[in-house]
């Protein structure tokens, strides 16, 4: 038996979590062929029984198809590398739907219209430029705006069957896998579906999508606290929250309310920091002028109240609004260095605070569903 043929056979076996084949994903180690015996180690991000069994069976089948006489031994191993991967979601029987996603970062605010979606999109792109592998989930089921912001409106994700189970394939924009209710629900329908039905969609997007292995999954939340936020913390281990606020006192009061959701006794999602958006207005023709239309210091105050840091200040500029409307986020506009710098600064701070958080704290426990 030739080991190269066995490798090729295993390259046809897909990890149902990521859609990647076992060889590309570097999951096969220590392959040995001795007489009729084929053995190898299969490195798995989680060890739940159904998943193990499925992969064991698929490996056996693939190898027996080329060498019917082979006797195949698969040793399953879980290196448990990242805190996210270890987050069991309440024990081994429940499993973690996204063990191959290192960090899940929620972008939240108390009030609508402060720029969460704008921050989520540009943060994702800036983290990617810093070398991260990033995905984006638009969890704003009531008013999904990510499809427009990324020029994906009207497109539909496809469904792929892996081991008989239908899985949703995210769409891609600028190299980033993206999922949004906007892809599957018409705006009129969203109003009718409201509440628990809609938040169920978020669970489905986390559990039944083929997310590739990611350093960061950025989640754009609807404003305030509600079913979607709850459904999120009950489904996955959220690494941390990025709070978005404007410098105004009113927006600030609401932001504190939203933050409290993350401080509820059984919700232990740490706040990574605060992005102050629309910090000052800079007209196109006067790029070095700053007009403080909405006051000052809102971001700083919120950071202090949440024991976190100010991740950055983003100016109110026409290009950011236009970029959102045109499906070409402002971070990608190389002509506007000031705005790009602002986003890069936010992304660097998010990356740093995430790394620090992972050094200092265990994975966020998944909130148990109380029935
Ligand atoms: N810094 C900025 N400069 C100019 N326009 C901005 C800025 N940030 C956001 N906007 C614009 O403000 C509007 C609201 O922003 P966005 O949709 O990101 O807010 P949101 O908090 O996600 O809103 P919602 O609560 O409705 O989800 C959009 O038209 C966006 O393009
Ligand atoms: Mg939004």
Distances (CA, A) of 114 to 58, 275, 311, 338: 48, 10, 16, 20
Question: Which atom of ligand 1 is closest in space to residue 315's alpha carbon?
Answer: 1
Q: Is 28 in the pocket of ligand 1 (CB under 6 A)?
A: no
Please tell me whether residues 142 and 258 are part of one structural domain.
yes
Distances (CA, A) of 247 to 100, 258, 274, 328, 338: 36, 16, 11, 26, 19
Please tell me whether residues 61 and 210 are part of one structural domain.
no
Probe target for ligand 1 pocket from 294, 324, 339, with the most ligand atoms within 8 Å of CB: 324
Q: What is the pLDDT of residues 167-221, one digit of tens each?
A: 999 999 999 999 998 998 776 666 556 666 777 889 999 999 999 999 999 999 9
Please tell me whether residues 62 and 149 are part of one structural domain.
no
Residue positions counted in the chain = 371
Least confident of 123-132, 193-202, 331-340, 357-366: 193-202
What distance in angstroms lies between residue 213's CA and the mean position of ligand 1's atoms?
Answer: 29
Please tell me whether residues 305 and 223 are part of one structural domain.
yes
Boundary-marking domain end, from 77, 108, 137: 77
Please give the pLDDT value at position 188: 65
Domain annotation covers residue 198: yes
Across 34-52, average pLDDT: 88
Please tell me whether residues 271 and 305 are part of one structural domain.
yes
What distance in angstroms lies between residue 118's CA and the mean position of ligand 1's atoms?
Answer: 6
Domain annotation covers residue 371: no
Boundary-marking domain end, from 77, 110, 133: 77
Are the CB atoms for 162 and 106 separated by under 8 Å?
A: no
Q: For residue 33, what are the domain limits?
A: 3-77
Q: Which ligand approaches the C-alpha of residue 282 most closely?
A: 1
Boundary-marking domain end, from 52, 77, 102: 77
What distance in angstroms lies between residue 114's CA and the mean position of ligand 1's atoms?
Answer: 6
Domain annotation covers residue 120: yes
Domain annotation covers residue 369: no
Q: Which CATH number belongs to the domain containing residue 48 in this structure?
A: 3.30.300.130
Please give the pLDDT value at position 89: 41
Across 138-157, average pLDDT: 93
Q: Which two tokens stand for residue 233?
A: 């913390």
Q: Which CATH number belongs to the domain containing residue 322 in this structure?
A: 3.40.50.300
Measured in whole angstroms, the distance separating CA 295 from the mean position of its chain's CA atoms is 32
From the list 93, 87, 82, the residue with the least C-alpha distance to 52 is 93
Residue nearest to atom 16 of ligand 1 (CA): 115
Domain annotation covers residue 98: yes
Residue 327 has pLDDT above 50, yes or no: yes
Q: Is 319 in the pocket of ligand 1 (CB under 6 A)?
A: no
Please tell me whether residues 92 and 17 are part of one structural domain.
no
Domain annotation covers residue 366: no
Please tell me whether residues 60 and 158 are part of one structural domain.
no
Please tell me whether residues 273 and 163 are part of one structural domain.
yes
Give the percent of the chain with pLDDT over 70: 93
Q: What is the mean pLDDT of the chain?
A: 89
Please tell me whether residues 148 and 55 are part of one structural domain.
no
What's the structural domain count of the chain? 2
Distance CA 68, CA 124 (A): 47
Distance CA 328, CA 59 (A): 43
Please tell me whether residues 52 and 188 are part of one structural domain.
no
Please tell me whether residues 89 and 235 are part of one structural domain.
yes
Residue 126 has pLDDT above 90, yes or no: yes
Are the CB atoms for 66 and 5 separated by under 8 Å?
A: yes
Please give the pLDDT value at position 349: 97
Please give the pLDDT value at position 88: 45
Domain annotation covers residue 368: no
Q: What is the pLDDT of residues 53-104, one digit of tens each?
A: 889 999 999 999 999 999 999 998 887 645 555 554 444 335 688 999 999 9
Please give the pLDDT value at position 328: 98
Probe target for ligand 1 pocket from 113, 123, 277, 292, with the most ligand atoms within 8 Å of CB: 113
Please give the pLDDT value at position 93: 35
Domain annotation covers residue 118: yes
Distance CA 360, CA 255 (A): 25
pTM of the predicted model as reported, rounded to 2 decimal places: 0.86
Question: Which atom of ligand 1 is closest in space to residue 121's alpha carbon?
Answer: 18
- Residues contacting 357, CB < 8 A, separation 6+: 239, 240, 270, 272
Please tell me whether residues 34 and 90 are part of one structural domain.
no
From the list 157, 160, 161, the residue with the least C-alpha distance to 180 is 157
- The pLDDT confidence band at residue 255, using thresholds 50, 70 and 90, is confident
Q: Phi/psi zone of residue 30: left (φ > 0), alpha (ψ -120 to 50 degrees), beta?
A: left
Give the percent of the chain with pLDDT over 90: 63
Distance CA 337, CA 347 (A): 15
What distance in angstroms lies between residue 355's CA and the mean position of ligand 1's atoms?
Answer: 28
Q: Is 324 in the pocket of ligand 1 (CB under 6 A)?
A: yes
What distance in angstroms lies between residue 119's CA and the mean position of ligand 2's atoms?
Answer: 9
Alpha helices in 271-317 (DSSP H): 298-305
From the list 104, 103, 107, the residue with the least C-alpha distance to 242 is 107
């Amino acid at each position: 038996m030739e080991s190269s043929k066995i490798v090729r056979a295993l390259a046809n076996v897909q990890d149902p979590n990521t859609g990647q084949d076992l060889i590309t994903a570097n999951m096969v180690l220590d392959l040995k062929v001795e007489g009729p015996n084929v053995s190898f180690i299969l490195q798995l991000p989680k060890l739940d029984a159904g998943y193990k069994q499925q992969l064991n069976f698929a490996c056996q089948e693939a190898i027996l198809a080329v060498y019917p006489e082979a006797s195949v031994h698969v040793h399953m191993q879980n290196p448990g590398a990242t805190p996210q991967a270890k987050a069991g979601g309440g024990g081994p029987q429940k499993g973690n739907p996204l063990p191959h996603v290192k960090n899940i970062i929620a972008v939240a605010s108390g009030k609508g219209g402060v720029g969460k979606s704008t921050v989520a999109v540009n943060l994702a792109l800036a983290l990617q430029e810093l070398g991260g592998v990033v995905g984006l989930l638009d969890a704003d089921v009531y008013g999904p705006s990510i499809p427009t912001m990324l020029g994906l409106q009207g497109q539909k994700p496809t469904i792929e069957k892996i081991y008989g189970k239908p899985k949703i394939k995210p769409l891609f924009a600028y190299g980033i896998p993206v999922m949004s209710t906007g892809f599957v629900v018409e705006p009129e329908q969203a109003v009718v579906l409201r509440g628990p039905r809609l938040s169920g969609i978020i669970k489905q997007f986390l559990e039944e999508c083929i997310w590739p292995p990611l350093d960061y999954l950025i989640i754009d939340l609807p404003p305030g606290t509600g079913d979607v936020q709850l459904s999120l913390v009950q489904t996955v281990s959220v690494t941390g929250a990025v709070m978005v606020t404007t410098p105004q006192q009113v927006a600030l009061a609401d932001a504190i309310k939203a933050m409290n959701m993350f401080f509820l006794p059984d919700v232990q999602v740490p706040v990574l920091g605060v992005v102050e958006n629309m910090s000052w207005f800079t007209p196109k023709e006067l790029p070095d002028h700053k007009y403080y239309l909405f006051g000052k210091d809102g971001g700083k105050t919120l950071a202090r109240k949440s024991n976190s840091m100010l991740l950055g200040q983003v100016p109110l500029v026409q290009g950011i609004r236009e970029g959102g409307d045109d499906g070409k986020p402002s971070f990608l506009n190389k002509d506007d260095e000031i705005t790009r710098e602002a986003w890069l600064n936010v992304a660097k701070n998010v990356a740093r605070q995430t790394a620090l958080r992972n050094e200092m704290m265990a994975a966020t426990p998944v909130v148990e569903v109380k029935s």
